[in-house]
């Protein structure tokens, strides 16, 4: 913890929410879609119908801990 | 310190962590997946009506059953290599991006934590709420465990638990921010972590229990769940470690730049 004393007490500047919001909105949306296709698609819900995506990411889904079947 | 800086570093951290996580999943997890599929096939071979259970189109390498069910066949070899890599790399990179931006929110907003410290906190809280709590309530199941009839309910339960765990974590951090100045760091951490624990335990008790194990071998189950836990721990620890390093370096560079600018202005 010697670094703490070496660093002068400066206010860490926060990034304004207005500047962050569009990035956050877009990335959270994309991440939600990615998570959906890996974790839940063609198990409980199927878009598109079939099992191709489900089978392809089958092992990843099991090992990442999502309910698979 | 811009959102772009954080996003780029988060995605990079996610990608690098995914490679490690894939290595763990492939070496530690895949033997257990194979063992579980062997159990499944042995069970399917015994009773004559086994094909009926597989009519939901889910398969591993039952080519004949699949043709009947109209499912898509992906060979075990592809599932355990390219398929596994696809799943972990996409989830890991996306998570890295999310953690990067969440860290951008946290910088300068949590007490006097420096950027690398607040980023570490985001990764830790993220792991506990996104991965650990859902795992403890609904642990990962290997192939052959779980009925196709209840997959809808089980998926819903899993994401309810995950959603509540994440929301509660966000609330806990917001409360901690307010308490910090009033009661100090030690009491704040005790109070908010304790509060979080209570919320999560009450939720876990309220949510229905799922037990569809049947006579699945206990050792394979344990090793599979351990492998799943290690896969996720590697992913999150990797993201945390890489991102904390990158953000720490970024902050140092920006501090040096700012100091130079100040010096130049004072001349």
**Chain B residues 20-39 with CB within 8 Å of chain A:** 25, 29-30, 33
Instruction: Check CB contact under 8 Å for B98 and A31.
Output: yes
Question: Consecutive 10-residue runs of chain B (267 residues): their mean pLDDT?
Answer: 94 97 95 91 70 47 43 79 92 96 94 93 97 95 85 90 96 95 94 97 95 89 96 97 97 92 91
pLDDT of residue B62: 43
* pLDDT at B261 (0 to 100): 93
CB B37 within 8 Å of CB B144: yes
Query: What is the per-residue pLDDT for B144?
Result: 85
Q: What is the pLDDT of residue B47?
A: 63
What is the Cα–Cα distance from A63 to B224, expressed in whole angstroms? 8
Q: Cα separation of B191 and B194, whole Å?
A: 5
Q: Does the pLDDT at position A5 exceed 60?
A: no
B122 in A contact zone (CB under 8 Å): no
Which residue in A9, A31, A37 is closest to B97 by CB distance?
Answer: A31
- pLDDT value at residue A42: 66
A19 is written with which tokens? 């500047």
pLDDT at B146: 81
CA A16 to chain centre: 22
Per-residue pLDDT reduced to its tens digit, A9-60:
667 889 999 999 999 999 999 999 999 888 877 666 666 667 788 888 889 9
| pTM of the predicted structure, to 2 decimals | 0.87
Q: Residue B123: how many CB atoms within 10 A of its CB?
A: 26
How many angstroms separate the CA atoms of A10 and B60, rounded? Answer: 57
The answer to whether the Cβ–Cβ distance between B25 and A59 falls below 8 Å is yes
CB A36 within 8 A of CB B100: no
- How confident is the model at residue B68, as a pLDDT? 41
- Domains in chain A: boundaries: 16-63
User: CB-CB: which of A15, A38, A59 is closest to B91?
Assistant: A38
Interface contact A62, partner B, CB < 8 A? yes
pLDDT value of position A44: 60
From the centroid of its chain, how far is CA B10? 15
Tokens of B244: 């904390």
At B61 the pLDDT is 47
Helical H segments across A8-69, by residue range: 17-39, 52-56, 58-63
Under an 8 A CB cutoff, do A27 and B97 touch? yes
From the list A15, A24, A58, the residue facing B1 with the nearest CB is A15
Contact B235, B21 (CB under 8 A): yes
């Amino acid at each position: 913890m010697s670094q703490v004393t070496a660093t002068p007490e400066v206010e860490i500047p926060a990034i304004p929410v207005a500047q962050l919001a569009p990035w956050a909105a877009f990335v959270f949306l994309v991440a939600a879609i990615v998570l959906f296709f890996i974790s839940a698609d063609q198990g409980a819900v199927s878009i598109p119908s079939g099992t191709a995506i489900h089978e392809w990411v089958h092992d990843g889904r099991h090992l990442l801990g999502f309910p698979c079947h | 310190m811009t959102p772009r800086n954080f996003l780029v570093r988060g995605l990079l951290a996610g990608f690098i962590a995914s490679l490690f996580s894939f290595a763990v999943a492939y070496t530690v997890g895949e033997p257990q997946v194979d063992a579980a599929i062997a159990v499944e096939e042995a069970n399917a071979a015994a009773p004559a009506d086994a094909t009926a259970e597989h009519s939901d189109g889910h398969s591993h390498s039952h080519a004949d059953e699949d043709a009947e069910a109209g499912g898509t066949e992906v060979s075990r070899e592809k599932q355990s290599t390219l398929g596994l890599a696809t799943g972990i790399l996409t989830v890991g990179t996306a998570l890295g991006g999310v953690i990067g931006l969440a860290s951008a929110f946290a910088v300068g907003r949590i007490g006097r934590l420096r950027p690398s410290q607040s980023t570490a906190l985001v990764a830790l809280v993220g792991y506990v709420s996104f991965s650990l709590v859902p795992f403890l309530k609904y642990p990962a199941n290997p192939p052959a465990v779980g009925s196709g009839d209840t997959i809808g309910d089980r998926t819903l339960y899993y994401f309810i638990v995950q959603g509540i765990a994440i929301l509660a974590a966000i609330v806990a951090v917001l409360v901690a921010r307010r308490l910090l100045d009033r009661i100090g760091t030690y009491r704040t951490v005790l109070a908010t972590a304790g509060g979080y624990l209570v919320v999560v335990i009450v939720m876990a008790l309220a949510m229905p229990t799922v037990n569809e194990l049947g006579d699945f071998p206990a050792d394979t189950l344990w090793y599979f769940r351990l492998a799943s836990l290690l896969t996720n721990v590697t992913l999150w620890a990797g993201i945390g470690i890489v991102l904390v390093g990158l953000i720490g370096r970024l902050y140092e560079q920006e501090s040096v730049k700012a100091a130079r600018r100040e010096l130049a202005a004072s001349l």
